[in-house]
Chain A
Amino acid sequence: MQNPYLPYPVRIDDITVEAVDKSLKTFKFVFLNDGDEEKFAYQAGQFAELSIPGVGETPIGIASSPVEKGFVKFTVNRAGVVTTHLHNMKVGDVMGLRGPLGNWFPWEEMEAGKNVLIVGGGFAFTTLRSSIIYMLDPANRSKFGNIDVVYGARSPGMLLYKDELVEWEKRDDINMHITVDATDDPDWKYNVGFVPPITEQKAPQGGDDAYAIVCGPPIMIKFTQPVLEKLGYAHDHIIMSLENRMKCGFGMCGRCGIGKELVCKDGPVFTLDQINKTPREY
């Protein structure tokens, strides 16, 4: 019997400071043991428990993409005991990784040539980055229709993965709509405004062949939902990723329940249709 509580040992291979206020860092991990990377096979949208022996564990969405091999990446906001400790760790340090956990975005459905609209806000962009890299991979791009991305942060300095954003901007097989809440940068050449109104202005119409994946802070989700409805996205084509306090990550410890569903096991990815049938205790 495999012990689901036992993490794979990993080494921090690289650390990138993502945000201007240093609250966000991307950690690149490599597995210490041969074969563990294969066992950790994941899909975009899943998460894992970053496991620091002697400190604790924290559930974080996987930011690297299944098509990227040799490492896994997580972008972590410094917030609590474990994430603060992690922010103080250095390249070469050894810790643990437990997963992959939870379900993923509905790739099988979307890979039937569907148009995909990605709406992201703040540091919830991590599993969306994983998804974009996956969809743009030469082996996968033809499986999708149009790809549109609305991504917003508080300010230009708070945008994640800036190099990649610039690269995607240049491509003609993905439509990027980057926005910031506000900026005093006179050279800022993208959008200014909150994610919901930018979505309303820029996002394509919904319909049977269109899916919207939405990840962001609760306030963004709240105001984006009516916009997507107006654009014609059906509730079972609006895909969201939920967060709740978690411990085990595989459906046993009981705390992340939203009614009879558990965010860690039955989610974190739900359609709006599914969420509407729960008591929404998240």
Chain B
Amino acid sequence: MTILKIDKKNWAEGLTAAANTYRLFGPVKEKDYHQFKALEKGEMPDLDMINTRLSPKALLFPQSEAMLECSLDESRDDHHIMKEIVRDDKPRAVVGIRPCDAKSTLLVKLNFDTPDVQDPYWLGAYHATTFIGMACDTPLSTCFCTTAGCGPYHEEGLDMLVMEQGDAYLAKLLTDKGKAFAAAAGWSETADDSAAFEAGRKAAEDRIVSTVKTDNLAATDLLELHGAPFWEDIAFSCINCGTCTFSCPTCWCFDIQDEVHGKSGVRMKNWDSCMFPIFTVHTTGHNPRDAKAQRVRQRFMHKLKYFVDKYDAGIMCVGCGRCVRQCPVNIDIRRVCEQMNSFKTAESCAAEG
């Protein structure tokens, strides 16, 4: 595994050079919060940020994305025939993504890249993107990545992992995409310092103070968990605002809507949320998840049970803590996970006597 040493003096220069090959995205502070955005010429990602308010999922899965278009002008031969909107899948790189967010792309990929059907919009963006991760040395009190299948120096989903070391950055080249980015940036000085990554990882992991237990989720009966007595209590304070689903890097649900502008029609893919009653309401008015508690249960069951059972790839959560920090009524996925994981079904109670 190649490790590069990049003098901080050469960092900006390297990114500027890479910008000739890649469209660069990165975390930038706007007003009070950091967010991922396309970097203007010469603009640098702010690597001091702890985490962005919204996850970078929009880089692959925009909050609102035009997919198809057509003319509604009946004087044209091709009116009312939908066509694909040409996508911009030129190489791009997201610089400064946290390992938790990088891991989340792999979980979302399970949904958009299936053996039968592939989403060309998500996958087009995914394949076009090089993920340059920034190791996380100052985790927040709400971070629980180490017990959510991830970690502050986790490499899954990344092409390059960068860590800070004094006046320099050390960059581990994890994939060919990572190597190509380093070449485009002109970074080539190697440093045989995997010990630094190991030490950094240990130190950062020791700073994670928050954990979840997930060991019983797979074995617990799905229907019994669905019928557990705690859902009303968990949902009591929920106001169905959808902040959790919008800020979550792994929430992938979406809506499809047609928009008409004059004589042209556009078919859009928009983020949606299982917290909203309209998400599931039938045309008849019947709604299978009419009650708030049913919707709250759906979110947690999807993340911590249905996903676990369906993919055998852990929980649908990377422990970024955004939903914990931003929920206006302090619903905490760590506490819900604990309740679900420690839930005793009738059968297990009987077995224990």
Contact = CB atoms under 8 A, between A and B. Distances in A.
A247 B254 contact: yes
Interface in A174-193: none
Contacts, number: 126
Most B CB within 10 A of own CB, among A218, A258, A260: A260
A56 interface: yes
B112 A252 contact: yes
Interface in A231-268: 243-245, 247-248, 250-260
B222 A244 contact: no
A53 B81 contact: yes
Interface residues of A, number: 43
Interface string B274-313: 1000011111101011000010001001100111011000
Nearest to A81: B283
Interface in B77-101: 79-84
B219 interface: no
B45 interface: no
Contacts of B72: 53-54
Contacts of B331: none
Nearest to B309: A260
Interface stretch (A5-13, A39-47, A144-152, A158-166): A5-13
Nearest to B263: A54
Contact of B223 (A80, A218, A279): A279
Most B CB within 10 A of own CB, among A52, A56, A254, A258: A254
B63 interface: no
A259 B226 contact: yes
Contacts of A56: 256-258
B104 to A, nearest CB: 16
B302 A257 contact: yes
Given A6-B68, A53-B82, A57-B256, A259 B306 contact: yes
Interface residues on B, range: 35 or more
A252 B280 contact: no
A6 B258 contact: no
B272 A255 contact: yes
Given A259-B226, A260-B222, A277-B223, A252 B119 contact: yes
Interface in A1-29: 1, 3-7, 9
Contacts of A93: 80
A1 B118 contact: yes
B123 A1 contact: yes
A96 B58 CA distance: 29
A244 B288 CA distance: 8
A79 interface: yes
Interface string B238-258: 000000000000001111111
B68 A252 contact: no
Given A5-B68, A255-B274, A96 B82 contact: yes
A6 B222 CA distance: 36
Given A260-B309, A281-B289, A253 B226 contact: no
Contacts of A53: 70, 72, 80-82, 258, 265, 267
A80 B284 CA distance: 8
Given A80-B283, A243-B282, A245-B281, A253 B274 contact: no
Contacts of A251: 114, 116-117
Interface in A42-75: 51-57
Given A9-B81, A245-B280, A253 B223 contact: no
A116 B226 CA distance: 34
Nearest to A254: B253
Contacts of A255: 253, 272, 274, 279-280
Nearest to A263: B288
Contacts of B281: 245
Contacts of A95: 80
Given A4-B117, A244-B282, A260 B310 contact: yes
Give 6 closest A-B pairs by Cβ, nearest first: A254-B253, A54-B265, A260-B306, A80-B283, A281-B288, A79-B283
Interface of B: 67-68, 70, 72, 79-84, 111-112, 114, 116-120, 123, 222-223, 226, 252-258, 260, 265, 267, 269, 272, 274, 279-284, 286, 288-289, 294, 298, 301-302, 305-307, 309-310
Given A254-B111, A257-B306, A259-B301, 14 more contacts: A5-B267, A5-B269, A53-B70, A53-B82, A53-B258, A245-B279, A248-B256, A252-B112, A252-B117, A253-B272, A254-B252, A257-B302, A279-B223, A281-B289
17 contacts: A1-B123, A6-B82, A6-B84, A7-B82, A53-B82, A218-B286, A245-B280, A245-B281, A245-B282, A245-B283, A252-B252, A254-B253, A255-B272, A255-B280, A257-B306, A277-B223, A279-B222
